[in-house]
Structure 1
Amino acid sequence: MMKKWKAAMLGVAALMLMPIHAYAYSNPFQLTDSWRWANNDFYGEGDPYILKFNGTYYLYVSTVDDQTGVKVWSSTNLVDWTYRGLCSTDAITKAAYAPEVVYWNGMFYMYTSPGGGGHYVLTSSSPTGPFIRATSNVGMGIDGNVFIDDDGKWYFYGTGSDQIVARPMPTPTTFGSPILTGLTMAGWTEGSTTFKRNGKYYMTYTGNHVWSTAYRIDYATSSSPTLGFTPAAGQNPVLIDTEGSNVGLGHNGIVKGPDLDSDYIVYHSHAHQGNAVYPGRKMNMDRIVWNGDKLLVLGPTATAQQNPELPDFQDRFNRTSIGTGWTNIGGGTWGIYNQELMWQDTIGNTSTYRQVTTSGTASDYTAEFNMKQIKQGTSANPVFGGVFSYTDESNYGVAVLNRNLNRLETNYVVGGVSQGWQYATLPSGYDYTKWHQIRVEKAGAAFTVYVDGMKKQTRSVNGLGGGKVGYTTTDAHADFGYVATSNKVNGSSAWNAYKPLPGKIEAVHYMNGAQGAAYNDLSAGNLGGAYRSGEVDIRSSAAEGANVVGWNQTGEWLKYRVNVAETGYYDLDVRLATTFTDASYRIWDGTTDLTGVVGVPSSGAWEQWVNSSKKGLYLTAGYHELRFEIVKGEFDLSSLTFSRGDSVTALQDDFNDGNDNGWKRFEGNWSVTDGELASAGGGAFAKTTIGNERWADYTVETDIRLVDTTGDAGVLVRVNNPSNGTVLANNPDYVQGYYAFLKPDGVYLGKMNYGYQALASAPTAIAAGIWQHMKVVTSGTTIRVYVGDMNTPKITYTDNSSNPFTHGKVGLRTMNNATRFDNFKVTP
């Protein structure tokens, strides 16, 4: 995207940086009072679900099979958890799987499937119980999840026929007819979570058996809460890890962070402790960031990560008096009750009473208010609610609840002029004497207001910036709970978050700050007008399905915050588009030049994206701010992906020693016979791997003899996350990487990502029983496959997708063919 040269750079302004957190959490979590079997074997925290209510988080997990009750923990920051005991001891909670709790209109509803044998609903007036059985067994599989749409309609999601099934809910305890969502992972599928963002429905869901290392999480989107869900192309699985210390990742929930803006995915992993027949499970949590409608998980992580950010202001009223942090406007009788809430009880007139904070917000912000009415006067419209963007009685916004008319009411006053009241009807039967939440998101001139998570209004109001927040009443006695504000909105918390490396960074997630400190941009304003305000030019890319940084030119730069997991060498893949043939970049860590000047190839068009690699960046563990500099030319930038890289070690195995030591078998019947590695056929599939997952560019050679006239066999390269596809399943595709293989009619190349995608083929007669020599060369994102002729490749394929595999082990694979392999060799 060409950019006009500017005559002069804009002035450099100071950048106010958030301090690096002194504290960090690590996965998996170590909680107190974990579930244990009766014999004291560890069971842990499987299927974790977190509810946020009135500023406090509550964690519920599955109950061990031979115990009764549901445990609950609480936290104010998502990191430090306090055990609160059993929230239910009802007899049906023996082996209570995946308990999820929904708050609505004064009641907490728990949905759980004891032993996986159908669901029960339990209810309580408190998040810590006691929860009492409210229904008999209503069936519907396991792992129930509830979603409440903006119109107040409820939906229940459970399992059925190896897919996720949706059911409309007439009430919180009744369930309509099943609707097949069609979401499946080619086998057992469970643990869904549905939510809505910017008018689009998202569902995360888990596949494969819980005790498999290949337990994993995908996501899909739809324009409907029940139909038309489409898996996110090129992005799934969003969480998987099959090898190492923290495997078997799945059954997630999603929760808003303490800063009111960030999102976190909470899930479990295997916990091998003691002599248990099956591993236990531990809770994990990683950050979700957004680029447009694209969901990205910054993980999985197993090293220290920045704690979730706290709000810029919060008040839990855990004191005996209101104090100096609040200012009374207009009178009324205000006080503190039980060191847990603020109240106002003057009624009988139409005066408006306010309490507002002495501190204010930035121009863009998110605010949360919690409230309930105790009683009201006899005036026509008694109301209570939140005040925001308040500077004085001539400039503010207000969002209040009207019990008489069962609605949300908003108004904005700018320069003493009312912008007019607007209304949104709330669900029938709303009980205003119970706790309700109002959430306000301000981005530019747009104010979006939610009630109990339901999006109810968006208004454009010019001339009103940030300001103080507070509570207000008119002829109503009300209690006011947790209140908080954050100078972040619509996912902007991602910009200053420290992204974990290894990992992927979206180009648009450069640091928040001023020209000359967080970035250097040579144009006035955002030329593309997308995603962020400021000087950096951002456009929406149809090909990428996300926002990208465009119009980059010589001398411009962007800073990114990263959290490096361990000291060592990293390889970088830059995703870009350009028509320039002489463009280049480099990356700095402070004054250290990490890359030198790196030339980038022309992609041929501004919407034709390629991945450009640079090997051997030396990074030290911890927090850093990396500066990406455009040295010459112009190119648009989509993402930066950092991978751990090791030099390739030459490897050779002719199997003449009678074994395959060093190889890891996954399925099938492998054996070493007559100095050859043999894989049995007979309708079976099999794979075996060797090497280092940090290897990038290498050459693999082997001799292959197809014994049968059906099926195929060949070489795996760039192997990641292999798992046994026959453990509690029967799936041949449990691996990520590329598969170069032989069939009787030719040479083929495919991409495996817990599924199979054909990439290229070359017709060639491959006779059964005849040895063939295959060579596969990986270089950057290009794969070359040679058979017979070692000088001219049968297949040359460059993976220009947004998710190429650039590192991984090597391996061998067969599918329905009794195959012999010999003279296997890997060279750098």
Structure 2
Amino acid sequence: MRKLRWLFLLTFTFSLMTSVPTTSSAYQNPRSLPDEWEQYGLGDPYVLKFNGYYYLYVSTRDTDDGVKVWSSRDMVNWSYRGLAASDPITHGAYAPEVIYWNGMFYMYTSPAGKGHYILSSTSPTGPFNVVTGNLGKTIDGHVFIDDDGSLSFYHAGQGRIDAAPMSSPTSIGASSTTGVGMGGWTEGATVFKRNGKYYMTYTGNHVFSKGYRVDYAVSTTGPRSGYVADSLNPALISTEGQTVGLGHNTVVLGPNLDTHYMIYHNLEGPGVIGPLRHLNMDRIVWNNDKMIVQGPTTTPQPDPEMPAFYDYFDRTTIGSRWANVNGGNWGIYNQQLMWQNTLGSTTWYKQVTSLASQSDYTAEFNMKEMQRGTSASPRYGATFSYTDENNYGVAMLSSKNNRLATFFRINGVDQACQTFDLPAGFDYSKWHTIRIEKAGSTFKYYVDGMHKGTRTANLGAGKIGELTEDTHADFGFVAFSNDVNGSSAWEAYKPIPGTIEAVHYMKGGEGTAYHDTTANNIGGAYRTDAADIRLNSEGLFNLGWNQTGEWYKYKVNVESSGYYDIDFRMATTMSGVQIRVWDGTTDLTGIIDVPSTGDWDNWRIVSKKGVYLKAGQRELRVEFVNGEADFSRMTFQKNAAVTPMSEHFNDGNDDGWTRFEGTWAVENGEYSSGSSGPAKSTIGDARWADYTVESDIKMIDSGGDGGMLVRVSNPSHGTERGQNNYDAFQGYYAYLTTSGVNLGKMSYSWTLLKGSAQSYSTNTWYHMKVVVSGNNIKVYVDDMAAPKIDYTDNSLNPFTHGKVGVRTANKHTHFDNFSVSP
């Protein structure tokens, strides 16, 4: 099946083009907003989208009453709208969240962490009034509405997230564990559904910890159980640099109707009356069911894209952007909606846009029924893929039958009408949203975010519009985007440093975004153009069957000019495969050899160090010159030369080292850790890649372990403020016990990678050397010729850069003669 794999020798050519001019504006994390809580900021942000607008709610300063709210059309320019709630019960309101359900807005908040109250309003800006007593539960309440209209309530538990069923938006049942947690304090859950799977993001650690971070888990069985934490966690973390303490996020679809964004806060230190925090936002992209946050970013990023077409009806006349079909009495009300009020006829009165969508798209329609006629089928709703009266689809709400009705007319032939039931008690006189996702011939229908059905039809590009049948209806915000199911990632400028999925090459088609020598997608996966894509054993889509002369372009946003290291994730059975990176006509890297990995699903890292990239928005072109290899993803990290160092501790101090947990001291020219829990101390540069680190190690106690850290990034204090995380960093730990030498991997969790049974004594010096090169790690003890452990981390998330350090766990250990060399 491999396309001429035995004929060619592969070379990739990545052509980093001249910086691409752009007229789009850019936002930059973190952000302050007008009228935020002084000396308290914007903690625990929650964003609700309703009728084309975004509404932001944040925690209330501990000394004040009320919940503040801001609104925006684009998630960048926010206008302060005042206090959405002012009842004294909202004194110090923690993490207010708002849902819209059947005409009413419900706010859930835990004032000062003392149980939960529910408030309601007919407007997202309030006023919200208290409608329940104290319902208990711990902090950070969150509500998820499933496809059948059932509701679930989530809140923080002791080291976990708990959830409870809800019989109504104001009635919460008994809680039970979701099985999701970070061991230590866990809070700030957000749940959403994508392609039939439930995603939960959640935050762990103390709010004042730099190690405050976001993880995510996925369930295929239900919204309150069956979750499995993803192997790439943490999903979002930064403990050093410009922003730290990242967390308590919300996930919301952006203005282009397709891109998910993670909205979160960072910690800027203690304010006068609490933690000072501000607003951050980063794009989420998808590869199959893997959620990838492209951040955290601290440099300018392109603003979220607006839809290809959108209308708020903020004018006095309908205008030329719409065309009337079949009549009806249409108009604009109060510069905020479009209406049609003719009753007594079964004619489908339509208004369609002057602009047509592309073949694949997402469309959103907001509407409500003002009066229903007396015919057999009074309905109102949306039309899409409309080219003329012989070719279009419709999705209509029927208050008479309490259902969504869908219909296609193709080449003048009416297809069967298919209906989908809506929840009991659905109030059609209130605003509701119909969402259409079209990919190929597949149409997915959503009502108020609930996936109600899927149909197939041979319809392509076309206009969208509103229609009524014997109904007076109002229509609010309407839009379409030429993206669906995350395809907006293809044209997005991906931040560097960061990871870019190979299948996220640009749009534009053959000769513009890519060149492929076959007419069709051999693998038949993910994208519908001729690029050859398959789903691999790691659960990711990758480019395969790549041949001489084929190429792909990628949009990137380089943080700053400088040297970067690139890790390419490759698989091939061929020998002599090579890759190369270009900037225009300049060869940036020379030939990079790609060894055979032995199988098309044996994925390996191929690295090139010290590639100079210029700052700004750029396009990378990947050209396959000879040979064949499958290509999954590429990761860019900043490069820094390893500075040789030697530390004998003879001066009685550990200047340059950063101590975290434990009790560290310099005793008689030796670095000593005497701790009943975890202890670590680090030194060096997080941009270091390949190096050798050595130290003499003497175990004093017989229990626990002690050893050296390599490739350390994002370290934090794992036991501060009552937390008990032994694994509060990302990197590798090579360590001794009295029964052997072992290698483990830490990413705010622990994985034992490999061990070697040996006998080591206390109060005896041993010399350990660790050599890291690419994703290979060798550990030597005393015998510097033969490694006790030789391990290659071929996982999706090997650590290839980081500082060095020493660590112990429940063990008194001494270190001396510590050194690092390139």
Change (3 A) 1:189 1:588: same
**Distance in 1 of aligned mates of 2:58 and 2:312:** 26
2:483 to 471, 485, 488: 488
2:580 counterpart of 1:583: no
| TM-score, reference length from structure 1 | 0.96
**Distance in 2 of aligned mates of 1:44 and 1:461:** 50
CA contact (8 A) 1:397 1:411 kept: yes
CA contact (8 A) 1:576 1:610 kept: yes
Equivalent residue letter for 1:393: E
User: What SS class does the counterpart of residue 493 from structure 1 fall into?
Assistant: helix
Map of 2:542 onto structure 1? 548
Map of 2:596 onto structure 1? 602
Q: Which runs of 4+ in 1 moved over 4 A?
A: none
**Distance in 2 of aligned mates of 1:222 and 1:21:** 41
Map of 1:726 onto structure 2? 719
Once the two structures are TM-superposed, the CA of residue 811 in structure 1 deviates from its matched residue by 0.4
Map of 2:30 onto structure 1? 28
CA contact (8 A) 1:363 1:465 kept: yes
User: What SS class does the counterpart of residue 488 from structure 2 fall into?
Assistant: helix
**Distance in 2 of aligned mates of 1:512 and 1:550:** 18
CA contact (8 A) 2:650 2:669 kept: yes
Map of 1:132 onto structure 2? 129
Map of 1:345 onto structure 2? 341
Once the two structures are TM-superposed, the CA of residue 443 in structure 1 deviates from its matched residue by 0.8
Map of 2:59 onto structure 1? 62
Once the two structures are TM-superposed, the CA of residue 594 in structure 1 deviates from its matched residue by 2.3
**Distance in 2 of aligned mates of 1:355 and 1:710:** 76
**Distance in 2 of aligned mates of 1:216 and 1:175:** 28
2:805 counterpart of 1:803: no
**Distance in 2 of aligned mates of 1:136 and 1:277:** 27
**Distance in 1 of aligned mates of 2:765 and 2:128:** 68
**Distance in 2 of aligned mates of 1:484 and 1:634:** 43
Equivalent residue letter for 1:687: K
2:229 counterpart of 1:236: no
2:311 to 299, 307, 315: 315
Map of 2:248 onto structure 1? 251
| Bigger mean CA deviation after superposition, 715-724 or 760-769 | 760-769
**Distance in 1 of aligned mates of 2:223 and 2:337:** 39
CA contact (8 A) 1:590 1:625 kept: no
Could you list the per-position Cα deviations for residues 559-613 of structure 1 after superposition, in whole angstroms to 9, with x for gaps in the alignment?
1111001111000111111111111112223333222221111111111111111
Map of 2:447 onto structure 1? 451
2:290 counterpart of 1:306: no
2:115 to 92, 96, 118: 118
Equivalent residue letter for 2:715: P
Equivalent residue letter for 2:483: K
Map of 1:10 onto structure 2? none
| Bigger mean CA deviation after superposition, 599-608 or 231-240 | 231-240
Map of 1:658 onto structure 2? 652
2:285 to 261, 283, 289: 289
| Percentage identity across paired residues of the two chains | 59
Map of 1:525 onto structure 2? 520
Map of 2:629 onto structure 1? 635
2:769 counterpart of 1:775: yes
Could you list the per-position Cα deviations for residues 151-192 of structure 1 after superposition, in whole angstroms to 9, with x for gaps in the alignment?
111111112232111111111000122232111101111100
CA contact (8 A) 2:379 2:399 kept: yes
User: What SS class does the counterpart of residue 720 from structure 2 fall into?
Assistant: coil
Kindly report which structure 2 residues correspond to 1:740-755, keeping only aligned pairs within 5 A, or say none.
Answer: 740-755=734-749
Map of 2:701 onto structure 1? 708
**Distance in 2 of aligned mates of 1:395 and 1:177:** 51
2:807 counterpart of 1:813: yes
**Distance in 1 of aligned mates of 2:115 and 2:287:** 38
Could you list the per-position Cα deviations for residues 229-274 of structure 1 after superposition, in whole angstroms to 9, with x for gaps in the alignment?
333442100001111120001111011010111110111101237x
Once the two structures are TM-superposed, the CA of residue 5 in structure 1 deviates from its matched residue by 8.0
Once the two structures are TM-superposed, the CA of residue 144 in structure 1 deviates from its matched residue by 0.9
**Distance in 1 of aligned mates of 2:408 and 2:786:** 72
**Distance in 1 of aligned mates of 2:651 and 2:74:** 57
CA contact (8 A) 1:572 1:617 kept: yes
Once the two structures are TM-superposed, the CA of residue 555 in structure 1 deviates from its matched residue by 2.3
Map of 1:106 onto structure 2? 103
Could you list the per-position Cα deviations for residues 495-538 of structure 1 after superposition, in whole angstroms to 9, with x for gaps in the alignment?
01011000001111111122122112111200000000111100
CA contact (8 A) 2:30 2:266 kept: yes
CA contact (8 A) 2:40 2:273 kept: no
Equivalent residue letter for 1:601: P
Once the two structures are TM-superposed, the CA of residue 324 in structure 1 deviates from its matched residue by 1.2
Could you list the per-position Cα deviations for residues 55-74 of structure 1 after superposition, in whole angstroms to 9, with x for gaps in the alignment?
00000001111111000000
**Distance in 1 of aligned mates of 2:749 and 2:296:** 21
**Distance in 2 of aligned mates of 1:310 and 1:200:** 27
1:150 to 132, 147, 150: 147
Once the two structures are TM-superposed, the CA of residue 277 in structure 1 deviates from its matched residue by 6.8
**Distance in 2 of aligned mates of 1:590 and 1:278:** 51
| Bigger mean CA deviation after superposition, 630-639 or 421-430 | 630-639
Once the two structures are TM-superposed, the CA of residue 547 in structure 1 deviates from its matched residue by 0.9
Once the two structures are TM-superposed, the CA of residue 125 in structure 1 deviates from its matched residue by 0.2
Once the two structures are TM-superposed, the CA of residue 221 in structure 1 deviates from its matched residue by 0.7
2:756 counterpart of 1:762: yes
**Distance in 2 of aligned mates of 1:228 and 1:156:** 13
Once the two structures are TM-superposed, the CA of residue 198 in structure 1 deviates from its matched residue by 0.7
**Distance in 2 of aligned mates of 1:60 and 1:266:** 11
CA contact (8 A) 2:5 2:627 kept: no
Equivalent residue letter for 1:74: S
Could you list the per-position Cα deviations for residues 64-105 of structure 1 after superposition, in whole angstroms to 9, with x for gaps in the alignment?
111110000000001010101100001110111111100011
Equivalent residue letter for 1:480: F
User: What SS class does the counterpart of residue 494 from structure 1 fall into?
Assistant: helix
Map of 2:374 onto structure 1? 378
2:729 counterpart of 1:735: yes
Equivalent residue letter for 1:717: V
| TM-score, reference length from structure 2 | 0.97
**Distance in 1 of aligned mates of 2:113 and 2:86:** 18
**Distance in 2 of aligned mates of 1:100 and 1:506:** 33
Change (3 A) 1:419 1:781: same
**Distance in 1 of aligned mates of 2:52 and 2:24:** 23
Aligned residues: 810
Map of 1:166 onto structure 2? 163
CA contact (8 A) 1:725 1:734 kept: yes
Change (3 A) 1:745 1:277: farther
2:386 counterpart of 1:393: no
Equivalent residue letter for 2:105: F
User: What SS class does the counterpart of residue 211 from structure 2 fall into?
Assistant: coil
Change (3 A) 1:48 1:643: same
| Bigger mean CA deviation after superposition, 287-296 or 592-601 | 592-601
**Distance in 2 of aligned mates of 1:328 and 1:499:** 41
CA contact (8 A) 2:6 2:574 kept: no
Once the two structures are TM-superposed, the CA of residue 340 in structure 1 deviates from its matched residue by 0.6
Map of 1:330 onto structure 2? 326
Equivalent residue letter for 2:284: I
CA contact (8 A) 2:366 2:477 kept: yes
Change (3 A) 1:154 1:227: closer
2:710 to 704, 717, 727: 717
Map of 2:193 onto structure 1? 196
CA contact (8 A) 2:20 2:619 kept: no
User: What SS class does the counterpart of residue 35 from structure 2 fall into?
Assistant: coil
Map of 1:13 onto structure 2? none
1:697 to 690, 694, 700: 690
CA-based RMSD: 1.5
**Distance in 2 of aligned mates of 1:418 and 1:531:** 31
**Distance in 2 of aligned mates of 1:641 and 1:414:** 46
**Distance in 2 of aligned mates of 1:132 and 1:331:** 43
CA contact (8 A) 1:220 1:229 kept: no
Map of 2:213 onto structure 1? 216
Change (3 A) 1:642 1:202: same
Could you list the per-position Cα deviations for residues 310-360 of structure 1 after superposition, in whole angstroms to 9, with x for gaps in the alignment?
100001111111111111111111111111111111112222211111111
**Distance in 2 of aligned mates of 1:151 and 1:159:** 25
Equivalent residue letter for 2:400: N
Unaligned runs of 5+ in 1: 8-16, 37-41
